[in-house]
């Protein structure tokens, strides 16, 4: 049985023994750079693997030195469990506190404190009490504290058991069908090519699959997959994963890049977020103000950005606020992602937050609709129905298979939520779209009113020209084209489409009294085999109106600019053409004129209309049937 996969991230002050502890637990030395091994500190991310009874943990060993906190943030971007390391001799230190705040910003709620170098103290109880007090009022306040000594191999089994217990309450990583790998290391191997490593989230990834990297925005096939140091044909979400990529070079693929499916790789440069500053920050901390240039940390990368606060000009310790981040370069960010904000020189962690709108717009930031949208999401950050409702309320419409995609909600949860909202009459599905029921019903009522108004004003017409309804749809749904869905809905609710018009099914077109004489004269003139030219019916507005009525009701056929025929005559000529072509396969215009027993004045417009209608097709000098009726 496949073990559950999870990511364990170390955190803590420099020289508190994080790497030594990882090596003692796993046998792997996470200090992979010569400089790290020479200096005895972790500068960049190190990786190891730990097998527990029920879990397979990928360990990310992060640097504790203040100069390398940016690398630490890259390492904990997708953390399931935190291993907060505190040395018994030093106790709680500045980077311990900063790392705890970063873990909190990223949503870490499970973990263990490893009290390292415990052999240096005769009694660790005072240090344990100090750490417990330091953890108070944080998401990790109640995690266990385990005294350990990597040097003497003491407390390691207890630490493993505590980690296994902490992982018990962790929700299983599920395959959402939305795999994403934040690249934290890239290298090349002779005979294999470019290797990208990172933490896989959101879905299974398979050998042979095509995947898109941003940057550089190129697609590559996955040549091979390795997960937790084992070659496999696939990797599960929640695992440390290495991918061999056949179409990308090491130089093209930077650390911080995102690997995902092409349809999920849309990038953004403006995001609306819910920001929070830790209440643990000193009161005199660097202020966070509108237009401050900051570094936005996301996944394994960071981007220069400017911050715009939605309410107020600054954000102080312990405060929360909606804000917009305007990135200087595109990034692959999804709704629901966690972010960390650090100051531009990378000396201080300022805030953290959650992405509420991954494709925001400058001009929408302070609109009432966007504020309602963002506040609803901020207040209900785990409720899929509220997030769906917020989108439909703001936009009026959403694609059924595209709502909240990609995001941190399970696709099955999204689909079940939409089904429930449809069943409870909150939403209605219209073709591929979902719409608020009241919005759709109001639009249908407006359209019905316009159609009935047209019947009252012009009872002689077959109905309202369809295109006259299009602006109504645009005023409600903007660029989303739901016009055909609306017409289909009207047809299912008492209306009938007549080619380019629509009418109430109960509507019976009737010539008004002042048009009846003209209508009768037109019908009489068209009874013969050689009807007059169309211009003869263009003598007055009254005659033109009567002719249009007869065309709309199908009693007269609009053949072309110079000819109209009675429906009976046109249908007779059409039948002759069909029978002749079925018998002979093809015919010239001259042959068809003889078969139709008509003049060239009538023949040519009739044949051209049949071509336009798709009945016949011209092939050089002959015509053939295009379709069999």
CA–CA distance, 408 with 337 (Å, rounded to integer)? 7
Q: Residue 41: its pLDDT value, please?
A: 30
CA–CA distance, 165 with 170 (Å, rounded to integer)? 10
Mean pLDDT along residues 286-295: 92
Query: How does pLDDT run across 86-102, given as a tens digit for each residue?
Result: 999 999 998 899 889 98
Q: Residue 15: its pLDDT value, please?
A: 80
Query: How does pLDDT run across 545-576, given as a tens digit for each residue?
Result: 889 888 888 889 999 999 999 999 999 999 99
**Angle made by CA atoms 50, 56, 59, in degrees to the nearest 5:** 45
Name the percent of the chain lying above pLDDT 70: 93
pLDDT beyond 50 at 38: no
Residues 129, 131, 134, 136: what is their CA dihedral angle, to the nearest 10 degrees? -70
Residue 146's beta-bridge partner residues? Answer: 114
Residue 198's beta-bridge partner residues? Answer: 183, 241
- Other C-beta atoms within 10 Å of 478: how many? 11
Mean pLDDT along residues 319-324: 96
**Of 292, 329, 327, which Cα lies nearest the Cα of 307?**
292
pLDDT beyond 70 at 477: yes
Q: Residue 238: its pLDDT value, please?
A: 86
pLDDT beyond 90 at 75: no
pLDDT beyond 80 at 67: no
pLDDT beyond 50 at 104: yes
Mean pLDDT along residues 409-436: 93
DSSP string across 366-395: TSHHHHHHHHHHHHTTT-HHHHHHHHHHHH
Query: How does pLDDT run across 181-200, given as a tens digit for each residue?
Result: 999 889 888 888 899 988 89
- Are the beta carbons of 245 and 183 closer than 8 angstroms? no
Predicted TM-score (pTM) of the model is 0.78
pLDDT beyond 50 at 255: yes
- Are the beta carbons of 29 and 192 closer than 8 angstroms? no
Query: How does pLDDT run across 516-555, given as a tens digit for each residue?
Result: 899 899 999 999 888 999 998 888 999 998 898 888 888 8
Query: How does pLDDT run across 150-165, given as a tens digit for each residue?
Result: 989 999 999 999 999 9
Query: How does pLDDT run across 337-359, given as a tens digit for each residue?
Result: 999 999 998 888 999 999 999 99
Of the pLDDT bands very low, low, confident and very high (cuts 50, 70, 90), residue 46 is low
Dihedral-angle region of residue 620 (phi above 0 means left; psi in -120 to 50 means alpha; beta otherwise) = left
**Of 593, 527, 522, 606, which Cα lies nearest the Cα of 562?**
606
Helix, strand, or coil here: 431?
coil
- Are the beta carbons of 568 and 607 closer than 8 angstroms? no
Report how far apart the first and last C-alpha atoms of the chain are (Å, whole number). 61
CA–CA distance, 4 with 239 (Å, rounded to integer)? 9
Q: Residue 284: its pLDDT value, please?
A: 86
pLDDT beyond 70 at 29: no
DSSP state of 172: P
- Are the beta carbons of 81 and 163 closer than 8 angstroms? yes
Of the pLDDT bands very low, low, confident and very high (cuts 50, 70, 90), residue 508 is confident
Structural domains in the chain, sorted by start: 4-168 (3.40.50.300), 180-264 (2.40.30.10), 268-368 (2.40.30.10), 513-625 (1.10.10.10)
Average pLDDT, the chain: 88
Contacts of 365 (CB under 8 A, 6+ apart): 272, 308, 310, 324
pLDDT beyond 50 at 37: no
Of the pLDDT bands very low, low, confident and very high (cuts 50, 70, 90), residue 31 is very low
Helix, strand, or coil here: 465?
strand
Contacts of 528 (CB under 8 A, 6+ apart): none
DSSP string across 559-606: EETTEEEEHHHHHHHHHHHHHHHHHHS-EEHHHHHHHHT--HHHHHHH
- Are the beta carbons of 65 and 96 closer than 8 angstroms? no
**Alpha-carbon distances of 554 from 558, 565, 569, rounded to whole Å:** 9, 11, 12
For the sheet containing 46-51, what is the strand order? 46-51, 55-61, 4-12, 81-87, 111-116, 145-147
Contacts of 243 (CB under 8 A, 6+ apart): 181, 195, 196, 197, 205, 211, 222, 224, 225, 226, 259
Question: Strand 230-232 relative to strand 258-260: parallel, antiparallel, unpaired?
Answer: unpaired
């Amino acid at each position: 049985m496949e073990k559950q996969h999870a990511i364990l991230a170390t955190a803590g002050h420099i020289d508190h023994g994080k790497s030594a502890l990882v090596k003692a637990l796993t046998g792997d030395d996470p200090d992979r750079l010569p400089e790290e091994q020479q200096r005895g500190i972790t500068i960049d991310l190190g990786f190891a693997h730990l097998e527990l009874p029920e879990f397979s943990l990928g360990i990310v060993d992060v640097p504790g030195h203040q100069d390398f906190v940016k690398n630490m943030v890259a390492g904990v971007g997708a953390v399931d469990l935190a291993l907060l390391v505190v040395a018994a001799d030093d106790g709680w230190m500045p980077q311990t506190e900063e790392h705890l705040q970063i873990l909190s910003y990223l949503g870490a709620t499970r973990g263990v404190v490893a009290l390292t170098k415990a052999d240096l103290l005769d009694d660790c109880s005072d240090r344990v009490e100090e750490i417990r007090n330091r953890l108070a009022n944080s998401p990790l306040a109640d995690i266990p504290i385990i005294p350990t000594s990597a040097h003497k191999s003491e407390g390691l089994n207890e630490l493993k058991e505590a980690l296994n217990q902490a992982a018990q309450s962790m929700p299983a990583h599920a395959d959402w069908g939305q795999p994403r790998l934040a690249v934290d290391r890239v290298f090349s191997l002779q005979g294999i090519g470019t290797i990208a490593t990172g933490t896989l989230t959101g879905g299974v990834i398979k050998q042979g699959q095509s995947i898109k990297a941003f940057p550089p925005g190129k697609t590559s096939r996955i040549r091979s997959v390795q997960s937790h140091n084992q070659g496999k044909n696939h990797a599960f979400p929640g695992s440390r994963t290495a991918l061999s990529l056949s179409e990308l070079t090491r130089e093209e693929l930077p650390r911080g890049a995102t690997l995902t499916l092409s349809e999920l790789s849309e990038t953004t440069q403006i995001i609306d977020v819910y920001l929070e500053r830790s209440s643990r920050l000193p009161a005199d901390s660097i202020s966070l103000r509108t237009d401050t240039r900051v570094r936005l940390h996301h996944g394994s990368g960071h981007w220069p950005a400017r911050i715009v606060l939605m309410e107020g000009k600054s954000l102080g310790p312990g405060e929360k606020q909606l804000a917009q981040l305007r990135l200087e370069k595109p990034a692959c960010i999804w709704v629901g992602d966690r972010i960390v904000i650090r100051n531009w020189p990378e000396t201080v962690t300022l805030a953290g937050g959650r992405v509420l709108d991954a494709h925001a717009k400058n001009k929408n930031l302070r609109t009432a609709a966007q504020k309602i949208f963002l506040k609803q999401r901020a207040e209900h950050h785990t409720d899929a129905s509220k997030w769906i409702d917020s989108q439909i309320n703001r936009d009026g419409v959403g694609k059924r298979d595209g709502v909240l995609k990609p995001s941190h909600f399970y696709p099955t949860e999204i689909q079940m939520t939409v089904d429930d909202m449809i069943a409870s009459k909150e939403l209605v599905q219209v073709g591929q779209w979902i719409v608020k029921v009241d919005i759709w019903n109001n639009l249908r009522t407006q359209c019905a009113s316009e159609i009935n108004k047209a019947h009252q004003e012009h009872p002689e017409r077959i109905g309202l020209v369809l295109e006259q309804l299009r602006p109504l749809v645009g005023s409600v749904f903007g660029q989303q084209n739901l016009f055909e869905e609306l017409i289909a809905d009207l047809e299912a609710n008492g209306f009938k489409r007549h080619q380019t018009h629509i009418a109430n099914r109960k509507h019976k077109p009737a010539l008004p009294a002042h048009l009846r004489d003209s209508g009768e004269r037109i019908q009489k003139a068209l009874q013969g085999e050689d009807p007059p030219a169309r211009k003869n019916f263009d003598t007055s507005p009254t005659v033109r109106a009567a002719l249009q009525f007869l065309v709309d009701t199908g009693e007269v056929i609009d053949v072309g600019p110079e000819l109209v025929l009675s429906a009976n005559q046109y249908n007779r000529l059409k039948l002759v053409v069909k029978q002749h072509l079925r018998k002979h396969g093809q015919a010239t215009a001259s042959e068809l004129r003889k078969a139709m027993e008509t003049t060239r004045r009538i023949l040519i417009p009739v044949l051209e209309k049949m071509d336009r209608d798709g009945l016949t097709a011209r092939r050089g000098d002959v015509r053939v049937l295009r379709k069999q009726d």
